[in-house]
Amino acid sequence: MDIYLVGGAVRDQLLGRPVVDRDWVVVGATPEAMLAAGYKAVGKDFPVFLHGETKEEYALARTERKTGRGYHGFAFHADPSVTVEQDLERRDLTINAIAQHEDGTLVDPFGGVGDIETRTLRHVSDAFAEDPVRLLRVARFAARYAPLGFTVAEDTMALMRRMVDDGEIDHLVPERVWAETRKALAEPAPSVFVRMLRESGALHVLFPEVDALYGVPQRPEYHPEVDTGIHIEMVLDAAAALAPGDALVGFCALTHDLGKALTPADVLPRHIMHEQRGIEPVREISARLKVPAEYAFMAEMVCKHHLNAHMALELKPTTILRLLEALGALRRPERLETFLLACMADKRGRGGNTDAPYPQADFLRACRQAASDVTSQPFVEKGLQGPAIGEAMKKAQASAIASVLKP
């Protein structure tokens, strides 16, 4: 029995990055031998075991064979004769196809170490094209490692385009698309994820609402970048800088301007009412990808109300109160934070605005605090009952908001 550390742990170790998860491959073993050694079986499709103490995953070396379309169209074969090189061959990228033996020796049959040195994301073999999830994974890895200088190899990009042309990605299930997208939105450069999907042609298939934004002009005095698609990329990266690792803010950034693709051509480059026009495509993308309810809700709120946030210092107290109520922010202050981070990213995600101040954020936080400090007790003591208490509280909350000093 030979045991190898594989995949992301080896890759990140070589990159000098923290190792979060450690996965192992076992060569020359049977399921019976693993159970006898104290491992616990957990794999359904192929033999995977948990270590009795560390709880880390140990998988028997295996090969795979394409049997049908999509992510599930594979048959796996695992027995003691499968080598570590054969196991590595089924992996997606060369940087993920490096193994380290227990004695520290590296097994690198596909040049992954060299690709780490040249900062290249390259597919292991043409079998890459058999699994459409890998296209999303490459785009996600590109979003993670772009700050380190990584780029996608041209032959890999060509293969990704072929996967789109051949219709392989049409067989991706929504859950897998969302799982990879959610991870990508939490990466340091989520704009690269969108850009890689667009360059491969996959954005048009998987996110047509986002793809439609490219080429849509905006007023240059407000958006020096002009192109709405470029603006979305900039907002995504601004969101990642403001809220590192927060995919919820990232999803709001991705979808906040979908309505601009629906602006009538005769009014361009103005986008009057784009917030309202964007609500339906936000709902469509959320439903199609089966995103969590909180993601769908907050994306719609940011789409509908981001201009109100930008104009917060000019709004009436009653309008601010309605905004807070729509967000549910009086009971859930974290929703206001998500909303403000997305709106701040929108402000900074445009040419020359990278470090633009956003005093609206602290003002709206203060308004929320002032409104939430109003309680029903004084009105109950006055003898008010039922709806009368609620009406009195709304007036008191609006008055409290009016007393907040504007910056």
Question: Among 47-56, 126-135, 248-257, 359-368, which is the least confidently predicted range?
Answer: 47-56
Between 401 and 80, name the one with better pLDDT.
401
Q: What is the mean pLDDT of residues 98-119?
A: 96
Confidence of residue 72 (pLDDT cuts 50, 70, 90): low
Positive or negative, the CA dihedral 384, 390, 394, 396 is: positive
Q: Which residue has the higher pLDDT, 202 or 45?
A: 202
Q: Over the stretch 143-155, which tens digit does the pLDDT of each residue have?
A: 999 999 999 999 9
Strand-pair category, 63-66 with 74-77: antiparallel
The pLDDT assigned to 45 comes to: 65
Distances (CA, A) of 53 to 34, 69, 100, 214: 14, 38, 21, 51
What is the per-residue pLDDT across 295-319, written as a single tens digit (0 to 9) for each?
999 999 999 999 999 999 999 999 9
Token pair belonging to 85: 């090189």
Count how many residues are written for the chain: 407
What secondary structure, in 3-state letters, does 88-144 show?
HHCCCEHHHCCEEECCCCEECCCCHHHHHHCCEECECCHHHHHCCHHHHHHHHHHHH
Average pLDDT, stretch 63-76? 58
Mean pLDDT across the chain: 93
Which residue has 């009057």 as its token pair? 272
The answer to whether 181 and 136 have CB atoms below 8 angstroms apart is yes
Domain 1-111 falls under CATH 3.30.390.10:
no
* Confidence check: pLDDT of 66 > 80: no
Contact 300, 278 (CB under 8 A): no
Q: Is the pLDDT of residue 67 over 80?
A: no
393 within 8 A of 376, measured Cβ to Cβ:
yes
